[in-house]
Structure 1
């Protein structure tokens, strides 16, 4: 018999972190805790207020419902949670944790054995020009060969100048540059801005315009000289048919998967399968989960064996995260299994 409970937890940023949607100081998350025959399973339901499709008033009610019905068939529960992708992910994670030898080793691999690593990008948050430049300098010094810069909140020319300053010192062979607009561009100006950005030999741009503008995004992907990656566009698209229609209509060059926002491991698998059938590239990123969720995403991602740098370097953002074996070193995420977990709510 499985007994389930949940607990809310607020993560505090070490430094307020800026995106085009605003400045983040805290991040709410919820933990699903399962107990059975002396074993424990832990899952993280990483709701992202203002972004998740399951940012709803009945979120906690759904968690209560899940705990009351945890004895039911897993497939049934996952299906009933279709509109709550972060709870789907927390349930998948907790069940995997409960059935594992160690509650935090969900996908044993060379990664969890500490013999292999995952290449990741270094994330540059928005802020003043000086602040962003300092972050860039720090990431390059830390050994990152792929840098992702959030754009769209400060003056566009200032952002271009920052990117130019990197390109003056480092070619695209030295440093891969990605930018993430978080939907900040207007459709009327987007193509012109993409042309300017493409002169800087960038890898790609994430979500140049707000999601839901299917016709405009389709035209952008068709005409853009810079590869486009869909991110927020995938949120709230649940059925396989709708996923296929979206990707076959827009035809992006890449998609970006955040398991907490797209329905966990199964939801991500579904997107990857459709993307690969349509020759669309992909990578996986965290969505500001604690180290519990990040750990699950990292282990899952490693097993997918993608060659692209992933977006998994967010574990050091919070003052009250949980001690764990994950370490960022030389532009990679490592699992140091000599370090013990300290999960204490």
Structure 2
């Protein structure tokens, strides 16, 4: 087998706000593996400022993989355990090489016989911009909306109150994502305010790495807590088990590009289910190449919950999409 990669800069149509700042572009790397006249493509979707593998030797490791693609898979997996997005790109490329075309996980989804429900994502911004996005998602037919919060909680709280006055929890599921934006004391107040509005869950209310504080919050929270950034960089299976045993969250959220791809996500799902912890899968600003692979993988996990999959519509220069959104359901074209 031979391998090569190229860098690609995705440009946002509109600057996208998170509690970590405003995003204007997203760097990614496309990996192509060739064997016996066939090609397999995968995306190594590093997320600068968030990925565990955001480090100076990232491209050196990609070059190393391209020079060592013929090595044993388990050897490569061990060598790349601290480079989850590269490992995931490699997993994608191998699956694509095996199944050809745009396929990674052939299923009823890729046959066009089934679909998945996804949530609508509302980016941070001023009140008018957030309300504009919400109206758009509701008009499209979304039954589950996720709002980024943690920058201006007073305004964000008012938006949630207005939404809940218009739509009961049976009509509209509301999720929020704080990206670690609150202190523990603030989080305790916010968790109660969210419970009063029947909010489904809050992702990462406080910064990752504070296991004791997070465990305390999870033990007494009136609003279910989902771990997100908390999982990043936890690569050892026993350490994953220790984290879940200690914190005991209500949910975990899996971004394959950030938590070790397919094999890494499978480990988290297995541990979560053993501990009666709910989970769902989300994308992390991949191009349409990686998004396609994540969607196909997610379908095989048979989760009944709305998943956090993007639609590739954020960027001006994305690759052609194999996914199509009808209402709040994602289909493979």
Instruction: Note if contact 1:147-1:177 (Cα within 8 Å) is conserved in structure 2.
Output: yes
Alignment of 1:10-29 (within 5 A): 10-29=9-28
Shift of 1:333: 0.9
Shift of 1:79: 1.1
Could you say what secondary structure the match of 2:271 adopts?
helix
Mapped partners of 1:94, 1:277: distance in 2: 30
Q: What is residue 282 of structure 2 aligned with on the other side?
A: 285
- Give the superposition deviation at 1:325: 2.1
What is the DSSP-based 3-state SS (H/G/I as helix, E as strand, rest coil) of the residue aligned with 2:146? strand
Which whole-Å CA distance do the structure 2 matches of 1:329 and 1:268 have between them? 27
SS in 2 for 1:265: helix
* Partners of 1:117 and 1:314 in 2: CA distance: 13
Alpha-carbon distance in 1 for matches of 2:251, 2:190? 19
Task: Give the Å deviation of 1:9.
Answer: 0.3
Q: How far 1:197 moved relative to its partner?
A: 1.4
> How many pairs does the alignment contain?
333
After superposition, the Cα gap between the structure-2 partners of 1:103 and 1:78, relative to the gap in structure 1 and judged at 3 Å, is: farther
State the distance in 1 between where 2:54 and 2:310 align.
Answer: 24
Q: Which position in structure 2 is the counterpart of 1:128?
A: 126
Map 1:56-205 → 2, pairs under 5 A? 56-100=55-99, 102-154=100-152, 156-205=153-202
Give distance in 2, aligned partners of 1:12 and 1:332: 25
Alpha-carbon contact 2:312-2:321 (below 8 Å) kept: no
Shift of 1:327: 1.1
Specify the SS of the correspondent of 2:258.
helix
What pairs up with 1:322-333 in 2 under 5 angstroms? 322-333=319-330
For residues 184 and 57 of structure 2, the distance between their equivalents in structure 1, rounded to whole angstroms, comes to 34
Query: Contact 1:4–1:34 at 8 Å: present in 2 too?
Result: yes
Partner residue of 2:262 out of 261, 265, 273? 265
| Superimposed CA distance per residue, residues 227-280 of structure 1 (whole angstroms, 9 cap, x where no aligned partner) | 000000000001110000000100000000000000100000000000000000
CA distance in 1, matches of 2:326, 2:203: 25
Is this contact kept in 2: 1:185–1:209, CA < 8 A? yes
* Contact kept? 1:288, 1:314, Cα under 8 Å: no
Query: What is the Cα deviation at residue 134 of structure 1?
Result: 0.6
CA distance in 1, matches of 2:238, 2:266: 14
Q: Does 1:36 align with 2:35?
A: yes
> What is the TM-score of this pair, normalised by structure 1?
0.96
Q: TM-score, normalised by structure 2?
A: 0.99
- SS in structure 1 at match of 2:4: strand
For the residues of structure 2 that align with 1:110 and 1:323, how far apart are their CA atoms? 21
**Rounded Cα–Cα distance in structure 2 between residues aligned with 1:313 and 1:82:** 26
SS in 2 for 1:127: coil
Alignment partner, residue 341 of structure 1:
none
State how far apart, in whole Å, the 1-side matches of 2:47 and 2:215 are: 27
Aligned partner of 1:218 among 215, 218, 222: 215
Provide runs of 4+ in structure 1 moved above 4 Å.
Answer: none
SS in 2 for 1:43: strand
Structure 1's unaligned 5+ residue stretches are: 337-345
Whether 1:4 aligns to 2:8 is: no
Structure 2 distance, partners of 1:248, 1:332, is 34
